[in-house]
Amino acid sequence: MSQTRSVYQFNSAIVREPSISVVNGLRADDRGGPTYEGVKGEHDAYVASLRHAGVEVSVLPSLEAFPDSLFVEDPALVFTGGAILLRPGAPSRVAETAELAPILRDMFDTVLELPTPGQADGGDIMYTPNSVLIGLSDRTDKAGAEALVSCIEQLGGKAQIAETPKGVLHFKTASSLLDDETVISTAALAKASVFKEFRQFIVPEGEEPAANVLRVNDIVMVSAGYPRTIEMLEKANYKVVPLKTAEIERIDAGLSCMSLRWYRDCR
């Protein structure tokens, strides 16, 4: 899994079309359900941005039995050297892994399965230049995190376990990598000293969901509804691409969870 390129350099991605049943997606707080048309429009713009950034995107068909299945990052991890099938923490999402498994086995020579016991969501995993950070949360427990560390080591990588602030769904709900030396996070996660080796940007108070950005090659995708965060990143000379996320945020989602991204080695 070792590589000389940055961990945000991608040329391949997998996404899944939203289902009509997405209106029944999981949510911690009911702020009103999304519309299928609204989610579909946000998803289409997201895929277009990935392609514009130089990524070849494989689009999987929707799964009506799984309302949250467009959040394809949660059931698996992918790297240049292989993939890991995870065990999502929400019972209604566990079977999504079996839907992804044959697709990943067609694309990767090595596909590992998270050993039992334990659960882990991809939304709790952040790639950094030195290691993979695994955040403990309601969706990723200690047993799952420890099992995932072992799987990542089998692929030649390093991983470490971190704490996620209480009340935060996923580790990456509250933090994201901006470049090899910089992260953006909420104030609560910054206080946990997880990123003491990184330069940090703290999202403005009231814009905490904006901590979930997505760096892809030379662009940073940011939720369009958070103007102060966008201004902060533009002033720091990041190439910001604002994307609407109002509908997917109604079901506790953000930008990173809608794709599996990796660098396909074509040599």
**Cα distance between residue 112 and residue 115, in whole Å:** 9
Q: What is the model's pTM?
A: 0.95
Sequence-distant (≥ 6) Cβ neighbours of residue 137 within 8 angstroms: 89, 121, 124, 164, 168, 169, 170, 171
93 belongs to an annotated ligand binding site: yes
Topology at the third CATH level for domain 12-262: L-arginine/glycine Amidinotransferase; Chain A (3.75.10)
**What does the DSSP 8-state code read for residue 120?**
B
Residue ranges per domain, the chain?
12-262
Task: Tell me the pLDDT tens digit for each residue of 225-243.
Answer: 999 999 999 999 999 999 9
The answer to the question of whether 73 is labelled as a binding residue is yes
| C-alpha span between 89 and 170 (Å, rounded) | 11
Give dist(CA 7, CA 258) in Å, integer: 18
Q: What is the pLDDT of residue 151?
A: 97
Query: How are the residues of the chain apportioned to helix, strand and coil, as percentages rounded to the nearest 5?
Result: 30, 25, 45
Tell me the catalytic residues: 170, 257
pLDDT below 50 — which residues of the chain?
1-2
What is residue 267's predicted lDDT score, i.e. its pLDDT? 56
Give the per-residue pLDDT at 2: 44
251 is in an annotated binding site: yes
